Structure 1
Amino acid sequence: MGSARGPVVCLGAAVVDLVFQLDTIPREPTKILAKSRTLRNGGPAGTAAVACGNLGIPAAFWGNVGNDAHGVQTRDALIRHGVDVAGLTVLDGVPTVLAIVMVDRNGERLIVAHGAEIFERPAGRLPLDRLAGAGAVLADTAWIDGSLALLEAAEAMGVPSVLDAEDNRHTSLLLRLARLARYPVFCEGAFVQVTGGAAPDAQSLQALSEQLGRDIGVTMGERGSLWWLNGHLLHVPALAVTCEDTTGAGDVFHGAFAGGIAEGMPMERAIRFASAAAALKCQAGRGWDGMPSRLEVEEAMRGLR
């Protein structure tokens, strides 16, 4: 096991998920009975922080929750998983984000979230002076003002930064965040968005990498991830598992990758570490309670060589 030089500071969304298990996600208006329902937690940055905590990597969460029962539950869940919540702010007058998550028998999911106004607050309360001791930072694309402030401060302090680049209605903001992050890692939809419709391949990754002035990665679910690193294309396959639930797998990938960077892992090892962690999360399901341990990830990495 490595040792992080400091915690991974994860900034952005931590939400409550109301998960309905279905045989099939409906494709047209209908009425359907769920097989089960469970109240869990999610959100890209919150899930990434919890993933780090369960991998033995110190992590902190910075972000906003509402002054309500869901906010209390989210804070308690982060603490239970060993995450530092000193950067969590409780806001009056706005609800904690609640997401309805439908998961089918193959583990695929459909998510509908409510409460985006919590991400419209300015970033003035962030304890940016604490970044001097961080091993890495991770920002998602939910709270734009906060992510811009975090990435700008990390760049100024020389702290490695990772962007969990998900689809955003403002392409220009997504590109701005990606230029600030040392390691922008796109989901496939966000990559298509910022490239004007290009599928991930050697040519499109090289073009975007040159546009941003950064090495970049694209996560592609069960097809693994594709990277443009130091002028070369790298494909890292996904670990083959029986999938229980894909919810949060990308967030776990980003958290584990940032954790690997914080520990000083070589890039390819950090990517394989993240890929194994994400696959094991798909296999386990169960929200934040399904996070893999460090030992499980290290053992699974043998299947990605």
Structure 2
Amino acid sequence: MTGVFCLGIATLDYVYKVETMPTRGEKYRSRDLAVVGGGCASNAAVAITRLGGRCWLATRLGDDLAGDQIVADLAGEGVETRFARRLPGLRSPVSAILVDAAGERMVISYSDPAMPEETGWLPSALPDGAGAVLADTRWGEGALAALRLAREAGVPGVLDGDRKPPHPDLVGTASHVAFSAQALRELSGEEDPRTGLARVARDMPTWLAVTLGKEGALFVENGELVHAPAFAVETVDTLGAGDVWHGAFALGLAEGQGERAAIRFASAAAAIKCTRFGGRAGAPHRAEIEAFLAGRG
């Protein structure tokens, strides 16, 4: 079974469904509530296992009840958690998330500032069967270590650039980087994603892309910018859609799909997720994607 070694943040999310986003300091009523695991790398890991891949997640957690629930949820999804480090006296990441009637979200997150940055406990080589690495930007030193393992193993090393990379070597060490629009804007200094992607791509051997939600994705191919449109769906909840996209994209590369095919695969996974409330609880299974794509030629 093809696998992906993931590294990054894992959280416990409290997801509230509201009609509109609060604008004043008063009481509001939620129409639904989902308590579900979250976090960029963690969501991607679950997406990978649901799509039929094997996944190992390296993450830092407190030795607390939230951490217990995070690990149990991941294990229940088939994610291998032996690289989830539990640290006594620290608190695991948690988030409160509001999702409005249009499917847009507002996230309030907490990560313990005392969480150590050191990477000595990470494996010295990728687990057998890992055909790619996926890292998020929440732990720069850890992401750099994981992407170096990918280079040493000769497999794709994907960076989920949902925030401006915290380490200057991250983009150059990855083989593939897919930015969020905000991260690309912060890194390039350009408002327009086309201009920003072209600027970052200058003299950069890394394969680069930017995900743009319902507008699809832009990527660089043979020095040219290419637009990959998103699939049109009725959006219920965008929470976790980008993470699902990255997980599916990394798995596609691990399976030997080319970048264009992996983008299409990932875009289908993210589109299906957007039709469901509850963050990563809406991540699809492989058969759903195959049926979705078959219906669209």
Task: Specify which of 269, 273, 279 is matched with residue 281 of structure 1.
Answer: 273
| Sequence identity percentage | 38
Give the whole-Å Cα distance in 2 for the aligned partners of 1:116 and 1:271: 34
2:81 match: secondary structure: strand
Match of 1:11 in 2: 7
Task: Tell me by how many angstroms 1:205 deviates.
Answer: 2.2
1:78 match: secondary structure: helix
Task: Specify which of 171, 192, 196 is matched with residue 199 of structure 1.
Answer: 192
| Structure 2 stretches lacking a partner, 5+ long | none
Match of 1:187 in 2: 180
| TM-score, normalization by structure 2 | 0.94
Task: Specify which of 24, 42, 62 is matched with residue 58 of structure 2.
Answer: 62
Computed over aligned residues only, the root mean square deviation of the Cα atoms, in angstroms, reads 1.8
Structure 1 residues 301 and 116, CA gap change in structure 2 (3 angstroms): farther
Task: Specify which of 197, 219, 223 is matched with residue 227 of structure 1.
Answer: 219
| TM-score, normalization by structure 1 | 0.92
Q: Which has the higher helix share?
A: 1
Structure 1 residues 132 and 8, CA gap change in structure 2 (3 angstroms): same
Whether the 8 Å contact between 2:185 and 2:196 is mirrored in structure 1 is no
Task: Tell me by how many angstroms 1:38 deviates.
Answer: 2.4
Task: Tell me by how many angstroms 1:133 deviates.
Answer: 4.2
Whether the 8 Å contact between 1:119 and 1:143 is mirrored in structure 2 is no
Whether the 8 Å contact between 2:91 and 2:112 is mirrored in structure 1 is no
Report the AA paired with residue 236 of structure 1.
A
Whether the 8 Å contact between 2:98 and 2:107 is mirrored in structure 1 is yes
Structure 1 residues 143 and 224, CA gap change in structure 2 (3 angstroms): same
Give the whole-Å Cα distance in 2 for the aligned partners of 1:45 and 1:112: 18
Give the whole-Å Cα distance in 2 for the aligned partners of 1:177 and 1:220: 21
Q: Does 1:146 align with 2:138?
A: no
Task: Tell me by how many angstroms 1:206 deviates.
Answer: 2.6
Q: How does 1:112-131 map to 2 (within 5 A)?
A: 112-117=108-113, 119-131=115-127
Whether the 8 Å contact between 1:15 and 1:99 is mirrored in structure 2 is yes
Give the whole-Å Cα distance in 1 for the aligned partners of 2:118 and 2:234: 42
Task: Specify which of 265, 290, 295 is matched with residue 282 of structure 2.
Answer: 290
The answer to which of 215-224 and 115-124 deviates more is 115-124
Task: Specify which of 127, 131, 137 is matched with residue 135 of structure 1.
Answer: 131
Whether the 8 Å contact between 1:239 and 1:304 is mirrored in structure 2 is no
Task: Tell me by how many angstroms 1:270 deviates.
Answer: 0.3
Whether the 8 Å contact between 1:13 and 1:46 is mirrored in structure 2 is yes
| Structure 1 stretches lacking a partner, 5+ long | none
2:260 match: secondary structure: helix
Whether the 8 Å contact between 1:45 and 1:139 is mirrored in structure 2 is yes
Whether the 8 Å contact between 1:75 and 1:85 is mirrored in structure 2 is yes
Whether the 8 Å contact between 2:62 and 2:88 is mirrored in structure 1 is yes
Whether the 8 Å contact between 2:5 and 2:126 is mirrored in structure 1 is no
Task: Specify which of 93, 102, 118 is matched with residue 106 of structure 1.
Answer: 102
Across the two proteins, how many residue pairs are aligned to each other?
Answer: 297
Give the whole-Å Cα distance in 1 for the aligned partners of 2:261 and 2:294: 11
Whether the 8 Å contact between 1:65 and 1:118 is mirrored in structure 2 is no
Task: Tell me by how many angstroms 1:237 deviates.
Answer: 1.1
Structure 1 residues 294 and 25, CA gap change in structure 2 (3 angstroms): same
Whether the 8 Å contact between 2:133 and 2:157 is mirrored in structure 1 is yes
Match of 2:204 in 1: 212
Give the whole-Å Cα distance in 1 for the aligned partners of 2:159 and 2:24: 34
